[in-house]
Amino acid sequence: MNTQVAIIGAGPSGLLLGQLLHNAGIKTVILERQTPEYVLGRIRAGILENGTVELLREAGVSRRMDAEGLIHHGVEFLFSGQRIPVPLSELTHGKSVMVYGQTEVTRDLMEARQSSGAPTIYGVEQVQLHSLKSDKPSVTFMHNGEQCKIECDFVAGCDGFHGVSRQSIPREILREYESVWPFGWLGLLSDTPPVNPELIYAHHERGFVLCSQRSLTRSRYYLQVPLTDKVEQWTDERFWNELKCRLPDELGQKLVTGHSLEKSIAPLRSYVVEPMQYGRMFLVGDAAHIVPPTGAKGLNLAVSDVNYLWRILRQYYHNGRTDLLSQYSQLALNRVWKGERFSWFMTHLLHDFQSKSAFDKKMQEADRQYYLGSRAGLTTIAENYVGLPYETVE
């Protein structure tokens, strides 16, 4: 089998890259270890940056998003019972974010891929990447008990943190940067109306709270919990009672509870690998970087990577630009590190944990007073939250 770009991973980044390349007349094959049902069953983020929304529109997969997605012009912070609104659009010259679940983004991209007729092969095993430093890399894998091989021009590693793509780069070349946070987020999804029109990021002495949403009738809530906690310890009743304890009475009284559709505990970590390319293989999304969900940057940083990679590859195939290929890693990392910084900042701002020194706690308090008490501080938060602009590829 021959193609121009072999894409490893059929999550949202791999599917979006495939759709953009297909629209540009560039041939792709997508390989995925799991089944389509498994991929769609993963509950993930739901906040789309301004740039993510625009790129999905550019890919021609925005019909349902534009019809069903909820545009948010603001967000709220809550400290010591005080609610602090952040008017995103007012502070960023009209930019906003959209609430539209990652599962729905993936569904839209899957349907577009199927309609295009471009091949996606699910249920592959033993994927291996070969000759990545040559002009003709290849990918081998097992499918339905048969050994298969794809010869290609480029490989896009969109296969997540545990995928084979990053592991195919020699260890002596990679530089890893990591910070593991000493707590987790317990998330609950329910078919209940959101407690507030805008998302609420709340600091509380009992632990952080995020009141999020997926639609006008589906809510997503998070509680900061110790890493030693197990999901089985948290009944629905215990979750709702704890959430009410961490919210002001005015919000607690409005809270509509219900049966959980999904409940899980996610550990938090910050992780970046450099470089994000090796020969003719490019890392995209979680294969190269992980952020805590506090800044809503995980999916959005993956889309940022896709934005740079597809534009570079389009220039290569349409205009013969080979000089841009070596620029991918630095272009992507410039924005990745800014996203990591914002997620790190938000996590420190909103969480308390035992390892903080007395000095660190004073710095945390000073940050809260400045960033949430001045227009300049609020503007910094707003600009990062709606998404920093992409650099031009030229």
Residues annotated as catalytic (active site), given as ranges = 72, 201, 293, 297, 385
342 within 8 A of 371, measured Cβ to Cβ: no
Determine the Cα–Cα distance for residues 143 and 71; give it in Å rounded to an integer.
Answer: 42
Burial of 78 (C-beta count, 10 Å sphere; 0-12/13-18/19+): buried
Residue 200, SS3? Answer: strand
- Strand ranges for 80-208 from DSSP E: 82-86, 97-99, 120-122, 125-130, 138-143, 146-151, 154-157, 175-190, 200-202
Q: How many residues does the chain have?
A: 394
Contact 92, 386 (CB under 8 A): yes
Distances (CA, A) of 128 to 85, 122, 131, 287, 338: 49, 15, 10, 15, 32
Is-contact 280 154, C-beta < 8 A? Answer: yes
What's the CA gap between 263 and 269, in Å, rounded?
Answer: 19
**For the chain, how many helices (H) and strands (E)?**
13, 20
